[in-house]
Every structure is written in C-alpha cells, then in structure tokens.
A and B are shown apart, each in its own frame.
Chain A
Amino acid sequence: MKTLSQKTLNRSFNNWFYGNLTCFSQEHMQTFGYMLAMLPVVKELYATNEEQTQKLKTYSTFFNTEPQVGAVVVGITTGMEEARANGEDVDDETINGIRAGLMGPLAGIGDSLVVGTLLPILLGIALGLSGGGSPLGAIFYILVWNFGMYFLMRFMYFKGYELGGKAVEVLVGEKANAIRESVIMLGTMVIGGVTASWINITTSFKMLNSEGGVIVDLQKTLNDVYPSLLSAVFVLICWYLLSKKRMSPLWVMLILVVVAFVGVLVGFFDPGLSY
C-alpha cells in the first residue's frame, strides 16, 4: 500500500500555489503548472523514469480554471493517482474526465465568489482604511488576502486529496449553491457601497436667468432626489452596454471618452481645474 508522504503533498501543493500561472500561454494556460504540481506525486509513487514519465503525461492535456479554487482539482487527481498506484482501476480517461468536467464549474465559482466577491470586499474595506494616504488599508489587504487564500487553497487541496473522485458531489451540490448565492448577495451589496463611496460623478450644469442668478442647479436638485444619483446611473449604463449590448470593456471606455468630451463641450461636466 503506497501512501504519499506529507512532505510530498506539501511540495505538490506549494508547486501549484506558486506556479499555477507562471508559464501561461494561450495554448496551454495552466497545463505546466499542473504538471509541476503532479511531479513530486508521480516521483514518489513510481520507481522508474519510464513509469513516471508515462503517468505525468496524463496531465499534459489542456487545463484552465480559476487557479485558487482550482487547487481542489489538483488535490482530487493526487488522490486518484495514489489510488492508481495502489492498483485501483483508474485510467487516464477517468482522470482527464474529472479534470475537464470540473474546469468549467470551478472557474464559474472561483471567478464570481473569490475574484468577483471576496476580493472586492477586502479591497473595499482596505480602501476605507486608506483615508489620507494611510498605508493601513494596503497592509490589511496584503495580510488578510494572502493568509486567507493560502489557507483556503491548502484546505481545498487536502480536502480534494482526501475525497478523491467523491469531491465532485460536494462541489456542485445544492448546499454549495445556497452558500454561493448568499455570498454573492453580500458581494453585490458591498459593490453598491463601493459605488456610493468611491465613485464621484457630478454635473456642473446650471440654468441662469438674465441677471446671472441661478434658477436650476442640477447637481443640487439631484442630491435632493437621491445622493450620488449620477454615479449610479453611469454604472447602470456601463452594465447595460457590457452585458446587454455585449461590448468589450475597452469599447465602453472609449464611449465614456466621447461622453466626457461632449459633456465638457456643452458644459455638463466641468472638473473646475486651474493651475
């Protein structure tokens, strides 16, 4: 009965933690990071170079997912490779089937939950701590994010290793969906808070009477209706262009440049600059 040593598992995890994207290309994306994570594993499980090479080649097929949550896949295949070395009936197709099958769902979970929600929350809090140029926010973010992600990824890897092929059920089950939905809800609220706190779009549009007195001060009126309304409106327009019109972010930015130019020309925007 072959069992992987803790040292090998640590090494395999650390190889993934650091190297998952270091040699990225559009053709192979995370394949090389994956092979490197499996290298200590096959080296311990198989004695001859021929066998090691043959097993490692299982992992030379394309792989790409959200790499932090994706640590669980590396853990799962490590568990399966161990089972295979102990004579269980695990072939290349089974391993690559699980790899290919989990890539998509995990990318979805990782992108929305970790990169799309957890990261903005932490950054949002860090921004709140950065008032007046204080380094506290950046230090908070560096510590919390790195320790948090390291332990999360470690947990995912070792959980995957423990459960092997059974982990698939846990990852896409109903309870996982409930957690995901709730955390995204929290994230959406925080993003609303970020918009209100950090985006500051104002208009300088005023209607004057013949003596130069102000009849309508649009910004003041808007503030009475709903503070920071313009910021929210611009976010909604951008969202509409990105998701309903399927424009790329670069195009939306270009449109904003045009909007800014026209807005300045007609006097809707005026940053009030002077030397």
Chain B
Amino acid sequence: MTINVVQAALLGLCACLSSMPGLGGTTFGNYTLGRPLVAGLVVGLILGNVPMGIMLGAAVQVVYIALVTSGGTVSADVRAISYIGIPLAMLYAYGMGWTGAETEAQSFAVTMAATVGTLGTVLFYGTATMNLIWQHWGMKQVDEGKLDRLYLVDWVLPWISHFVCSFIPTFVICLMGSNMVQVIKDYLPMDGIAMKTLFTVGSLLPSVGVAILLKQVVSKPVDFLTFFFGFTLCAFMHLNLIGCAIVGGFFAIMNYNIRVLALRPVAAVGAAADDDEEEP
C-alpha cells in the first residue's frame, strides 16, 4: 500500500483542523478530530481500511486518553500523533501483512505515534509563533477601529501558519512514508534487540497517559483506592468500561449526597445530637 498525493493532502488538511490551536475549533478540532480513535476512523476512510485504522487508533488512544494541554504546555501535539503516526503505522502494518488486530501491530502504532508526537511539539510551537504575526497586525487593526478584520485575524490568517506547520510536514512525511517503512523492514529484523525494545516501549507507553491523568485527579494517597477499585472491577470481575462507569456513577451520587448533607448548618446537627443523648 502507498499513500498518493490526494490522500496525503487530505491527511494534511486533517492535521490543520485537529491540532491544539487548530482550525476545527477546540471541541470539534482538537478534542474530536485530534483524538487518535477518531483519527483512526478518518485515516481508515482516507486510506481505505477502516477496521485497521480503528484498531491502531484505539491502541494509540490509550496512551493519549488523558492528554491535557493546560496553559498551553504540550507534552505531545495530536496533529502529528494522529495524522502522521497512524498513517505510517498503517503502511507498516500492510507491509507486514498484519490486519491491525495483532499485539505487534498495535505496539508498533503506539511507538510510531509517540515518536512523531515529539515532532508535533515542534510544530505546535511553530504554529503558535507564526500566529504572533497575525495577532500583532490584528491589534493594530483594532486600534484603527477596523474591527471586522478580527474575523480575518482569528479565522483566516492562521491557515497560513497551519499550511506551513501542519499541512506541509504531514503531506511530505506521509508521501514518503511507504519508502520509509520499507527501510525499517529491510534493516531492522523483528527478533533483533532494536525492534524488541521498540515494541516493548509501545506496551509501556500507555502507562504515561494514565499517569498524566492520575496526576490531575489524585490529590491524596487514599484517592488511589478509588483508582484500584475501578481497576479491580475490570481486572478481577471483568466488567467492561460501561459497567465500570455505571458502578462509578452510583458511588459518585452517594458521595455527592453525603457531601451535601455535610453542608447543612453544623449547629442544627449538633443540637439534634445533644437531644438524643438527654432523652434515650
């Protein structure tokens, strides 16, 4: 399988729409098109193999399930993960004769995505820096009272930044992708130490994604019990995630009710308790 010019251009367009300061907007661009699972569907449609795209995208999604870009700091930028990493992983999987269901295929996809994800960080800073030009021009327009030009500044001019920092890199790398995966296949034997390490990294990386999120939600050690409760439900009791979410939702409601009870005026509760003691 190869990626032709039209396919590479479509992937480039998706990269423009889906990145963090993306042109698809926050909700639909970054948090929808940018998610590797959705990208798996989109890339699968573009390259003509949806099941493989989904399976590889789902594997990559686990690593980035908790990609929080708080305050404009990025650990990895989704445009490269989703629209360079997944297409290249699909090319490689084709070359190996995989369907995408194999653990090897999924580990390779994760490793590939994480590798190009670091390139994405460079692209992120590139885009943000180029946008400075439009913003400075935009401030001048506001000073001069040409207010409608704000639409141009916010919605149109960033396309130039994205053409340079999203479209071109994605287009070029995806076009050259088929040669590159052939080189990997020729020079790195599967039972060699390099490939073994690569695949092992692929299976280890998802733990970083989960840990990033845990850092957000765990504030005291006892919170880990909540984490292991969910873990146990799935690992021991073999609930799926929908079941896990329903059990979790039940506990969340109980917790909320208890917290709201505790919010009632303390004096009234204290008085009631005293009454009980006096009149057994």
Contacts and interface: CB of A to CB of B under 8 A. Distances in A.
Given A125-B245, A252-B211, A273 B35 contact: no
Given A26-B128, A191-B230, A125 B260 contact: no
Interface in B94-110: 96, 100-101, 103-104, 107
B212 A242 contact: yes
A271 B22 contact: no
- How big is the A interface, by class? 35 or more
A187 B46 CA distance: 33
A128 B242 contact: yes
A98 interface: no
A120 interface: yes
Given A125-B242, A271-B199, A196 B231 contact: yes
Contacts of B256: 178-179, 181-182
A192 B21 contact: no
B50 interface: yes
Contact of A191 (B31, B104, B201, B213): B213
Interface in B219-266: 223-224, 226-236, 239-242, 244-245, 247-249, 251-253, 255-256, 259-260, 263
A142 B38 contact: yes
A273 B71 contact: no
B142 A53 contact: yes
Interface stretch (B2-10, B61-69, B174-182, B272-280): B61-69
A134 B125 CA distance: 35
Interface bin, chain B:
35 or more
A255 to B, nearest CB: 10
A175 B259 CA distance: 8
A272 to B, nearest CB: 9
Q: Mostly helix, strand, loop or mixed at chain B's interface?
A: helix
Residue among A126, A193, A232 with the highest chain B CB neighbour number at 10 A? A193
Given A18-B25, A25-B129, 18 more contacts: A22-B154, A135-B44, A142-B32, A149-B31, A178-B256, A182-B252, A185-B251, A186-B245, A186-B252, A189-B227, A192-B244, A193-B239, A193-B248, A196-B235, A235-B214, A257-B197, A257-B201, A271-B107
Interface of A: 17-29, 31-33, 35-36, 39, 43, 49-50, 52-53, 56-57, 60, 64, 66-68, 107, 111-112, 115-117, 119-121, 123-128, 130, 132-135, 137-139, 141-142, 145-146, 149-150, 153, 174-175, 177-179, 181-202, 226-228, 231-232, 234-239, 241-243, 248-250, 252-253, 256-257, 259-261, 263-265, 269-271, 273-275
Interface of B: 20-23, 25-28, 30-32, 35, 37-38, 40-41, 44, 50-55, 57-58, 61-62, 65-66, 68, 70-72, 75-76, 96, 100-101, 103-104, 107, 114, 118, 121, 125, 127-129, 131-132, 134-135, 138-139, 142-143, 145, 147-148, 150-151, 153-155, 157-158, 189-191, 193, 195-197, 199-201, 203-208, 210-218, 223-224, 226-236, 239-242, 244-245, 247-249, 251-253, 255-256, 259-260, 263
26 contacts: A21-B22, A24-B128, A25-B129, A25-B135, A26-B72, A36-B150, A115-B70, A116-B217, A126-B37, A127-B61, A141-B38, A149-B31, A188-B214, A188-B223, A188-B226, A189-B229, A189-B247, A191-B230, A193-B233, A194-B62, A243-B214, A248-B75, A256-B207, A256-B208, A271-B107, A271-B196
